[in-house]
Amino acid sequence: MKQTHYHTCNLCEAMCGIEIEHRGDEILSIRGDKDDPFSRGHICPKAVALQDLHNDPDRLRHPVKRTVDGWVPISWEEALDETARRLHEIRQAHGKDAVALYLGNPTAHNHGALFMLSPFTRALHTRQRYSATSADQLPHQLATWQLFGHQALFPIPDVDRTDYFLIIGGNPLASNGSIMTVPDIKGRLKAIQKRGGKVVVLDPRRTETAKVADEHHFVRPGTDVYLLLALLQVMFEELLIAPGRLDAILDGKQTLAKLVANWKPEKVADTVGLDADAIRKLARDIAAAPRAAIYSRVGLTTSAHSTLSAWLVYVLNIVTGNLDREGGVMFTKPAFDIVSLGAAGGETGSFDRYRSRVHGYPEFGGEFPVTTLADEMLTPGKGQVKAFISHAGNPVLSCPDGRKLDKALAGLDFMVSIDFYINETTRHADIILPPTGQLEHAQFDPIFQAVSVRNVVKFTGPLVDKPEGALHDWEILNGLVTRLNRLNARDRRSRLKVAAADRFVRKLGDRGLVDLGLRLGPYGTAGKVLEDLRRDGLHTLPKIAWKVLRGEKKGLTLKKLLANPHGMDLGPLVPMLPERLYTRDRRINLVPALYFRALQGLPAPRAISPDTMLMIGRRHIRSNNSWMHNSQRLVKGKGRCNAMLHPDDAARLGIEDGEALTVSSKAGTITLPAWVCEDIMPGVISVPHGWGHDREGVLLGVARRVAGESVNDVISSSNVEAVTAMAQLNGIPVKVAAAENAVPKKAVGS
């Protein structure tokens, strides 16, 4: 019998509602849910590919173990027992930091996995923790912690009410928004223009977003920091600073004025690639707009001075009076409030509490930057990483120096991956634990609801029941937590606590945790309990969970949310300061010491040699990092894994459109077809990341046929950001040349 199921697409951050017609496990159609109050029927091409991922013959559906004769299936009991035992043995022999953990981007799209991360990391008790954060948004999180007191308290552009939207190093028409959950961004940008507003893009490439903007300015990669300093200098010099009502809770305004006083537009123009008059006009336009929102993303946050740049973007929003203001950048009031729940557990943020063994890189939020991961495995000595756990990640393709990481993974004593593909990273694993697929588990988005342009909430059940013998991510992680804690238990009392915790998690399940979070949230009625948690600590949650779940039901509960299968619109963003601040004094210090010191060490702007080529990345609407290339409908069509360069550079190098060229650095060389195009700044070359699926042992049929090249094979892990040592992925100096007697690997889709 044909049925209709309402779901949320979880292949990017937009949270688009979808309507799936199916007959049992057979998917008949996927289209946008017109009754979803947030996405209003909008979807992108990725949503339709959920069918491909659900039915993918390459997807693992049972645990496998690598043997000399290849991969063999094993039972869940054997897989979980052996994994826990091997990890425990390595810890006993080499110390707790001999085990490393990496979390990939899809982890953030899986609420069950997210809820189990804290107990899992506690069970591992290792400092060797890594994630995609340090190749993505770390500077944003550091700035929100330093300015607002919490690393997850992001100011979100109020795009539906703004008059001036400035986008720096972001391409939301390709990404569907990022740290800005916003379905149908194209429609929302057009709405800004229709009401007389303006959209401006600063980017070294004329992106898909730039092409629909009112203005686009080419800006040289990695120079955002100089442009931002110059904008502030103009605003202070011309008395355009106007923080509005927040002036009463601001500190450091005079210090900021002194710090930017010498950064005149003329000083930075040649380096930035934008003339001084244009910089001054940009500053005046921002200040003159009735309501303005300044937004930045990975083009800025993965550059050489991203720590300073991300901070300065937030500062610009603050000093122009556009923080916590309708049409500016505002804080969400999410139904499941990860910010307040994290704070209740004492987790608001951290930086540089300790440093990595090999390079002395600082931790952030309990994690080291991925730029040191391979060397922690390859460098002998006390604390050397001997075992590795990856969850929903493919760092060989998504992190710098992929070939070095390949070598490092091959030399480990033990590796386990929680993933349902044998990809470029997981092919090194000894055991792979495949969770249920996107349509086989419920979908709830605590992270993306917390960065949404409206306050919305939605919970959707699975399309089909969990296949017999399958486990969800949270069940796999709980199984490992229980086994590791049991092995670590020293007495009967400890073992009883382990058993009790296991029963609690199993009984509560991922749905119970969602229900609990909703009741503890701003639309629930268990606020008193949240105060108790802040006082006593999040570890007391098991003691009070049942009391909360059986208590007052007047507020928002999971049951009420399930009665709204299309989701619930809880209203526009509202002013929330100073109450929403987590700083000790409920004030905002514009110039925290960390940024004051970093600015003293900022090198003077310099002219760029016309022969220097700077490499940047590139996103596409039919892709998301490395994890959607095994869908034929997403990779078909015109090739995308190529090197975009300006006609002037192509002529100088003697390269014709479509011909093979090489991109080289100290890390390595890749060969790609050239895409000669005027949509890129001279002196810049753009290569998309996430490709390179031709490595031996990868079992992805479609992806291998359209392999492409991995841009991270020419990005050295020694190219690190100045303050945090996170990955520098944009503005990388490279050598570009016509390939001699070389045929580029087949461009994707060709």
- In this prediction, residues 693-708 reach a mean pLDDT of 95
Q: Give the highest mean pLDDT range of 14-23, 551-560, 622-631.
A: 14-23
- Which residues are CB-neighbours of 524 under 8 A, at least 6 positions away? 335, 518, 555, 556, 557
- Condensed to tens digits (0 to 9), the pLDDT of residues 654-672 reads 999 999 999 999 999 999 9
- Which residues are CB-neighbours of 421 under 8 A, at least 6 positions away? 58, 59, 60, 627, 630, 699, 700
Contact present, 119 and 385 (Cβ < 8 Å): no
Q: What would the two tokens of residue 651 be? A: 């002529």
How far is C-alpha 633 from the geometric centre of its chain's CA atoms? 24
- Mean pLDDT is lowest, of 336-350, 427-441, 559-573, 665-679, for 336-350
Strands (E) across 380-420 are located at 387-391, 414-418
Is the pLDDT at 748 greater than 90? The verdict is no
Query: Pick the residue with more confidence: 750 or 593?
Result: 593
Question: Burial level of 195, CB count in 10 A (0-12/13-18/19+)?
Answer: exposed
**Tally of domains in the chain:** 4
Q: Are residues 420 and 319 in the same domain?
A: no
Residue 157 counted as domain residue: yes
**Confidence tier at 527 by pLDDT (50, 70, 90):** low
Q: Are residues 192 and 261 in the same domain?
A: yes
Q: Are residues 242 and 278 in the same domain?
A: yes
What are the contacts of 78-82 at 24+ separation with CB within 8 A?
79/431, 79/433, 80/433, 80/476, 80/479, 80/480, 80/483, 81/483, 82/431
C-alpha 7/C-alpha 652 separation (Å) is 51
Residue 108 counted as domain residue: yes
- The phi, psi pair for 531, rounded to 5°, reads -65, -40
Q: What would the two tokens of residue 656 be? A: 């014709």
User: What is the CATH number for 410?
Assistant: 3.40.50.740
Residue 703 counted as domain residue: yes
Which of 206, 205, 188 lies closest to 197, judged by CA? 188
Q: What would the two tokens of residue 552 be? A: 């007052």
Cis (ω within 30 of 0) for the bond into 578?
Answer: yes
Q: Are residues 236 and 315 in the same domain?
A: yes
Which pLDDT does position 750 carry in this prediction? 40
Q: Which amino acid is present at 602?
A: L
Q: Are residues 283 and 379 in the same domain?
A: no
Q: Are residues 166 and 38 in the same domain?
A: no
C-alpha 51/C-alpha 633 separation (Å) is 10
- Condensed to tens digits (0 to 9), the pLDDT of residues 709-726 reads 999 999 999 999 999 999
Is the pLDDT at 747 greater than 60? The verdict is no
C-alpha 633/C-alpha 638 separation (Å) is 12
Q: Which amino acid is present at 724?
A: T
Which pLDDT does position 97 carry in this prediction? 97
Is the pLDDT at 526 greater than 80? The verdict is no
Q: What would the two tokens of residue 153 be? A: 């308290």
Angle, alpha carbons 18-20-22 (nearest 5°): 170
| Domain carrying residue 309 | 138-334
Angular region, 118: left φ>0, alpha ψ -120 to 50, beta rest: alpha
DSSP state, 679? S
- In this prediction, residues 88-116 reach a mean pLDDT of 96
- Condensed to tens digits (0 to 9), the pLDDT of residues 150-208 reads 999 999 999 999 999 999 999 999 999 899 999 999 999 999 999 999 999 999 999 99
Q: What is the mean pLDDT of the chain?
A: 94
Which pLDDT does position 371 carry in this prediction? 98
- The stretches of 138-252 forming alpha helices (DSSP H) are 138-148, 172-175, 185-194, 224-237
Contact present, 736 and 370 (Cβ < 8 Å): no
Cβ-based neighbour number of residue 94 at 10 Å: 17
Question: How distant, in Å, are the alpha carbons of 242, 272, 609, 648, 747 from that of 655?
Answer: 50, 26, 20, 10, 17
C-alpha 511/C-alpha 500 separation (Å) is 19
Contact present, 495 and 489 (Cβ < 8 Å): yes
Q: Are residues 84 and 177 in the same domain?
A: no
Is the pLDDT at 544 greater than 90? The verdict is no
Q: Are residues 296 and 396 in the same domain?
A: no
Q: What would the two tokens of residue 662 be? A: 């090489």
Cβ-based neighbour number of residue 125 at 10 Å: 12
Which pLDDT does position 624 carry in this prediction? 82
Which pLDDT does position 548 carry in this prediction? 76
Which of 40, 119, 175 lies closest to 488, judged by CA? 119
- In this prediction, residues 569-598 reach a mean pLDDT of 97
> Which residue carries 């049409």 as its tokens?
327
Residue 27 counted as domain residue: yes
Q: Are residues 146 and 277 in the same domain?
A: yes
Residue 558 counted as domain residue: no
- Condensed to tens digits (0 to 9), the pLDDT of residues 119-139 reads 999 999 999 999 999 999 999
How far is C-alpha 686 from the geometric centre of its chain's CA atoms? 20
Contact present, 726 and 134 (Cβ < 8 Å): yes
Q: Are residues 148 and 110 in the same domain?
A: no
- Give bridge partners of residue 30 from the DSSP assignment: 20
**Confidence tier at 507 by pLDDT (50, 70, 90):** very high
User: What is the CATH number for 651?
Assistant: 2.40.40.20
> Which residue carries 């949320």 as its tokens?
8
- The phi, psi pair for 391, rounded to 5°, reads -120, 115
C-alpha 444/C-alpha 295 separation (Å) is 26
User: What is the CATH number for 149?
Assistant: 3.40.228.10
Residue 19 counted as domain residue: yes
Q: Are residues 657 and 705 in the same domain?
A: yes
Share of the chain above pLDDT 90, in %: 90
**Confidence tier at 749 by pLDDT (50, 70, 90):** very low
Which of 700, 591, 556 lies closest to 314, judged by CA? 591
- The phi, psi pair for 344, rounded to 5°, reads -60, -30
Contact present, 75 and 63 (Cβ < 8 Å): yes
- The stretches of 247-305 forming alpha helices (DSSP H) are 253-260, 265-272, 276-288, 298-301
- Which residues are CB-neighbours of 249 under 8 A, at least 6 positions away? 577, 578, 581, 586, 587, 588
Q: 434, 468, 485 — which closes off a domain? A: 485
C-alpha 542/C-alpha 232 separation (Å) is 49
Contact present, 15 and 6 (Cβ < 8 Å): no
Could you tell me the pTM of the whole model? Answer: 0.96
Kind and range of the H or E run holding 193: helix 185-194
Contact present, 474 and 115 (Cβ < 8 Å): yes
- Condensed to tens digits (0 to 9), the pLDDT of residues 452-467 reads 999 999 999 999 999 9
Is the pLDDT at 32 greater than 70? The verdict is yes
- Condensed to tens digits (0 to 9), the pLDDT of residues 589-645 reads 999 999 999 999 999 988 777 778 999 999 998 888 888 899 999 999 888 999 999
- Condensed to tens digits (0 to 9), the pLDDT of residues 390-428 reads 999 999 999 999 999 999 999 999 999 999 999 999 999
Q: Are residues 94 and 225 in the same domain?
A: no
